[in-house]
Chains A and B, each alone.
Chain A
């Protein structure tokens, strides 16, 4: 089939190398002040594993595979939803001094007082 790619041997290593390098460069730009949201955000990104879990579960052909596949999707979905929820909450808290009516999600921040002066 045309759409079917086969990733093997060196091709896989190339993908891994380029991805690791990009990751290193992209993450290296993130300032220390954002390291916690960065970590929960990258935590969220590896939640893509849920797609692998869905593949395994949808292709299950025995009860055992159904059970393990179910666990994979359950955990993966938890990773995704939780990672997104906490990252979004944290990022909404970072506000600049000049208090702009930024971001519709500012309901997550505790009563935010505009600075005087």
Chain B
């Protein structure tokens, strides 16, 4: 009976951990409770990791001579990997969050792939089902590892341009086919005679190699603005890989956590694709830049430049202002100045709200985090569906560093590539100011009809510099009144 205690403990702790993960994610459904949610999930993780050292009581005779070394290695690996990541996670600036998440995601995929490698090379999978599931988990994990690393490199600016070659998709298809064939061959041979696995390590290495290469190839052609979809997909991939390896290891906690994350990643992937008005396969397999050769429709009106100071004063005397921040604001590092300006407006009695588009940023919800970092209270930040009707009753809409997500062509112009995309109806405000670096087009390469509207003025310049001028103009107003 005594020998069953470690195993029972592990079982009970893993059950508790699975519950705490679910409960923690459940608490994430509101900004009020979210912070305690991650703490709860962290508690589950901590006890699960600690209790897994009880595995030492159940090792086989073959492992005994290695056991003390194994324990030492485990402690070192936990300390090194955990320490380095903790340090980087504490230090990284909020604007770099997408690449950090991609990096951590790559680690998870890599860990799942490595577990599969131990199972395969050590011939530990029992029966054909386990073997096939191990292989599938290995494939997904490896693709997630190399794909996330490429995504990280792109987001971090190591790779600047999407790499697109003619016939790339066929080549990628061939690599995928090769990977699957090798996997099928391994499964076929080894499920007949399990001993076969130990005599073909070369083939197993090749299988992993091909999967890794495929992950790189499939991510290389995808452009920066499509990253919200890509990160979500790889998050789902790693979740699935973890779930499958959990089945192989007969560990329900891994199965449940992995599958929950898989579902979460899938949901976010679909949400992001919808917000971009594109299907997931369209993001992954077509070269957007090549498709968007759109002839500008007959847009009437002209671009009307305005001074930053005048725009600032106009907002000071408005009743209601909605600000539409885009990724350009983050690039210019203008969030702090923006909130400083907003606080001045609020002090003058102006009602200010922020309207955030789902794909503003390089990962889902990134703009919300950047605003929160600048100190903007979350009850001032509104999502597209909650605020879109309010533009019509708004005096001034201030668009900063956003372009395609406020293009009314998405509502009206059937020939536009972004037709049908959900947009923020900034054009319906009484007055629109657009802060923009120059007259360039947005990511989609489409002329923005909003800019030519009668109610719209363009404020050219770096977002941060423009905001400084606005702040000075409004402050000057206060001083003049006091004098």
Contacts and interface: CB of A to CB of B under 8 A. Distances in A.
B38 interface: yes
B38 A117 contact: no
Nearest to A51: B52
B430 to A, nearest CB: 24
Interface in B43-87: 45, 48-49, 52-53, 55-56, 59-60, 62-63, 66-67, 69-71, 73-74, 76-86
Label chain A's interface by main secondary structure. Answer: helix
Chain B interface size range? 35 or more
Contacts of B264: 23-24, 26-27, 38-39, 42
Contacts of B366: 36
B388 to A, nearest CB: 13
Contact of B364 (A36, A60, A80, A117): A36
A110 to B, nearest CB: 6
Contacts of A46: 108, 235, 238-239, 242, 257-258, 261
A76 to B, nearest CB: 4
Interface in B227-262: 231-232, 235, 238-239, 242-243, 245-247, 249-262
Contacts of B271: 32, 35
B111 A59 contact: no
A5 B378 contact: no
B122 interface: yes
Interface string A1-29: 11111111100100110011111101111
Interface string B1-30: 000100110010010010001101110111
A26 B108 contact: no
A40 B97 contact: yes
Interface of B, secondary structure class, is: helix
B331 to A, nearest CB: 17
A66 B66 contact: yes
B82 A77 contact: yes
Nearest to B385: A32
Contacts of A9: 129
B468 interface: no
Nearest to B369: A36
Interface in B141-177: none
Nearest to A27: B264
Contacts, number: 430
Contacts of B114: 53, 56, 68-69, 71-72, 75
B250 to A, nearest CB: 6
Contacts of A50: 49, 78, 111
Given A7-B247, A47-B45, A65 B369 contact: no
A54 to B, nearest CB: 4
A81 B261 CA distance: 17
Contacts of A75: 81, 107-108, 110-111, 114
B125 interface: no
Contacts of A51: 14, 48-49, 52, 251, 253-254
Interface string A96-112: 11010001010001111
B326 interface: no
A2 B4 CA distance: 8
A5 B253 CA distance: 13
A105 B118 contact: no
A81 B83 contact: yes
Contact of A58 (B39, B59, B97): B59
Contacts of A12: 247, 255
29 contacts: A15-B252, A20-B262, A23-B25, A23-B262, A24-B264, A29-B26, A32-B271, A33-B378, A35-B363, A38-B268, A44-B42, A45-B257, A46-B238, A48-B257, A49-B112, A53-B111, A53-B114, A56-B114, A58-B56, A58-B67, A61-B63, A66-B69, A66-B73, A73-B78, A85-B90, A86-B92, A110-B336, A110-B375, A112-B375
